[in-house]
Structure 1
Amino acid sequence: MSGKGFSRRALLLGGGALAAAACSPSGPAEPVAESIPPVVPAPPTPADPVTVERVWSAARGSELDLVLITPEGVPAADLPVCLALHGRGSSARTFVDLGLPSMLTEAVRAGMPPFTVAAVDGSNYWVAVDPADDPQRMLTEEVPGWLSRRGLGLRTGGVPSAAMGISMGAFGALRYTRDHRDLRATAAISPALFVGWGDARSRKVFRDRAQWESHEPLLHADDTAPVPIGVWCGTQDPFAGAARRYIQAARPQVSRLAPGGHTDKYWKKTLPDVLRFLGDHLKQ
């Protein structure tokens, strides 16, 4: 074979080898672009006395309001947080409608230690009637993250230091306290408690008697110790009898029964006293 033929054949064979090497799995790998998830910045620490944000709750399977209330002129960072639970048929914005922002500011200006109030939307007496909607799990597992991402309650990892509730929210706050006995205080206003299954069943909220019994504060009056409890209720309130029974059983640190009904008027009159009770226990 001539040298020219040999060179042409070698060139063809060499080209084939290079092509095979390029297609071979053992060849150098093509660079792969990595997918980098976008960085979601943390929401800023609230600078206004009242902020309302929409947040997604996996525990409740829905989007809801997170309402943050801070005394005017006081930086929210480093303040302790009080969880606020609204009543049935209401929402987290109820505390704004009742005038709590101005009450909180006035109390702090009068010398009360400042704190932030965090309210969220709830339902079903703040218990999991539907496994896909668990308000207590939201309060325990999700609220701390929502607060700490906003620079709130950092000394406790975002976990609220106190709790308060109105009506159904008072039921929920007392239930929450059973699982959080390191709270500094809990305030129950016009607590919607039930002295028997017949009353509870009439509300058409609880799945069955066993579920009601497992959550009813009247049946677990000793399970919130050693958290200081305060109870306020109007003497014309339809839940006044149940409130008296709870006071007898739980022996709360503060118990105040005064003229009034299950109304906004009574709650507006009572909230300043409630805030002072909480503030006294939330001193840094």
Structure 2
Amino acid sequence: MISRRGLLVGGGAVAGVAAAGAVGWELAPAPVTYRVRRTLGLLPEPWVPDVPEGTVRVEQVDSEHLGPIDLFTAVPAGYGDGAGLPVVVVLHGSSATAAGFRDLGLPRFVTAAVRAGAPPFVLAGTDDGPAGWVPVPGADPQAMLRDELPGWLDERGYDADRRALWGWSRGGYGALRFVEVEPDWPAALALFSPALHAGDPALADDAGLDALATLPWGLWCGEDDPFRDGAEALAAAAPTPPDPWVGGPGGHTRVYWNAQTVDMLVWLTSNL
């Protein structure tokens, strides 16, 4: 296997792109993978809607469970500060941060989704913990989501009691583990390429998948995604299959995820 450093060394760049493609761009440092991809022209650019942003904020909040973290919020264009709007909470993947959501174009996806028919909503997300979205000694992102995030959203005037949950990659895995222990927290769940394989503890009989029996949930994972086997195993193990369950060509990339995001948000917010 080629090292990450090898991605930047001479002829190793091409091999590095192939290696990164095998495990998914999400699992390698985003600045490196995007720079190499643009330089070599091997992959298309992720699509981002050509629509305006609304009100976007990145604020630091102090979490009792995680310490200082960033809180991102995005209101669709034309809806002011978002007062009274319901919330879609997004859990990011391993190479992302809440402060980087704007660079990914997420505020424009909010506007595009509303223009495509979604009821107006606010997109909100925070940073994760040292092990992603699962608890470890000294850091509990699940407790932050449960005990603190609704209060922060309420303080900013949003309708924090109406909320849905979306996660991609490691955030998709974290969203699944969160609803296993807090099944009543979201009104609906959207998982983009959750980072799990068949046999993961999240799929065990006693893991809490019964939460998916009544919770509206959807699953999106490309046919070339390295976590496709885990997505199929999750769909088969859940007491109620995902609806929608979207596959199609694509890997563990923003190219695939961005192409699905507007339709996903329209579906997800229809449950709020």
Query: Under a length normalisation based on structure 2, what TM-score does the superposition of the two structures give?
Result: 0.73
Deviation at 1:183?
A: 2.4
Please, which of 162, 168, 171 is the counterpart of residue 170 of structure 2?
Answer: 168
Deviation at 1:247?
A: 1.1
Q: Is the 8 A contact 1:166 1:188 kept in 2?
A: yes
Match of 1:71 in 2: 76
Deviation at 1:92?
A: 1.6
Deviation at 1:244?
A: 0.7
> Please, what is the CA RMSD of the aligned residues?
1.9
Supply the distance in 1 between the matched residues of 2:103 and 2:209 (Cα, whole angstroms). Answer: 31
Supply the distance in 1 between the matched residues of 2:61 and 2:185 (Cα, whole angstroms). Answer: 26
Deviation at 1:127?
A: 1.1
Q: Is the 8 A contact 2:118 2:267 kept in 1?
A: no
Match of 2:134 in 1: 127
Supply the distance in 2 between the matched residues of 1:143 and 1:66 (Cα, whole angstroms). Answer: 9
Supply the distance in 1 between the matched residues of 2:199 and 2:73 (Cα, whole angstroms). Answer: 36
Supply the distance in 2 between the matched residues of 1:103 and 1:87 (Cα, whole angstroms). Answer: 17
Supply the distance in 1 between the matched residues of 2:245 and 2:121 (Cα, whole angstroms). Answer: 22
Supply the distance in 2 between the matched residues of 1:278 and 1:182 (Cα, whole angstroms). Answer: 14
Give unpaired runs (5+ residues) of structure 2: 1-52
Please, which of 220, 224, 227 is the counterpart of residue 212 of structure 2?
Answer: 224
Q: Is the 8 A contact 1:81 1:162 kept in 2?
A: yes
Are 1:118 and 2:120 an aligned pair?
Answer: no
Equivalent pairs, count: 213
Deviation at 1:137?
A: 0.5
Match of 1:28 in 2: none
Deviation at 1:195?
A: 2.1
Give unpaired runs (5+ residues) of structure 1: 1-46, 198-212
Tell me the secondary structure at the aligned position of residue 165 of structure 2: strand
Q: How does 1:190-209 map to 2 (within 5 A)?
A: 190-196=193-199
Distance 1:121 1:232, change over 3 A: same
Structure 1 vs Structure 2: percent identity of aligned residues?
42
Supply the distance in 2 between the matched residues of 1:234 and 1:220 (Cα, whole angstroms). Answer: 25
Query: Under a length normalisation based on structure 1, what TM-score does the superposition of the two structures give?
Result: 0.70
Match of 1:267 in 2: 257
Supply the distance in 1 between the matched residues of 2:151 and 2:71 (Cα, whole angstroms). Answer: 12
Match of 1:238 in 2: 226
Deviation at 1:217?
A: 4.8
Q: Is the 8 A contact 1:86 1:94 kept in 2?
A: no
Distance 1:266 1:274, change over 3 A: same
Q: How does 1:26-175 map to 2 (within 5 A)?
A: 49-60=55-66, 62-75=67-80, 76-123=82-129, 124-130=131-137, 132-154=138-160, 156=161, 161-175=163-177
Supply the distance in 2 between the matched residues of 1:172 and 1:229 (Cα, whole angstroms). Answer: 15
Q: Deviations over 1:189-228 (max 9, x none)?
A: 011113236xxxxxxxxxxxxxxx3xx2564332333110
Tell me the secondary structure at the aligned position of residue 164 of structure 1: strand
Q: Is the 8 A contact 1:68 1:117 kept in 2?
A: yes
Q: Deviations over 1:87-132 (max 9, x none)?
A: 11321234323222112212212322111111100031311122x1
Q: Which one-letter code corresponds to 2:164 in the other structure?
A: A
Q: Deviations over 1:37-70 (max 9, x none)?
A: xxxxxxxxxx95211001111101x211100011
Distance 1:275 1:183, change over 3 A: same
Tell me the secondary structure at the aligned position of residue 125 of structure 1: coil
Deviation at 1:83?
A: 0.9
Q: Which one-letter code corresponds to 1:228 in the other structure?
A: P
Q: Which one-letter code corresponds to 1:69 in the other structure?
A: A
Report which of the two structures shows the higher radius of gyration computed on alpha carbons.
1
Q: Which runs of 4+ in 1 moved over 6 A?
A: none
Please, which of 252, 265, 274 is the counterpart of residue 242 of structure 2?
Answer: 252
Supply the distance in 2 between the matched residues of 1:217 and 1:66 (Cα, whole angstroms). Answer: 30
Supply the distance in 1 between the matched residues of 2:192 and 2:146 (Cα, whole angstroms). Answer: 21
Q: Which one-letter code corresponds to 1:195 in the other structure?
A: A
Q: Which one-letter code corresponds to 2:244 in the other structure?
A: V
Match of 1:185 in 2: 188
Deviation at 1:268?
A: 1.3
Supply the distance in 1 between the matched residues of 2:159 and 2:101 (Cα, whole angstroms). Answer: 20
Q: Which one-letter code corresponds to 1:222 in the other structure?
A: D
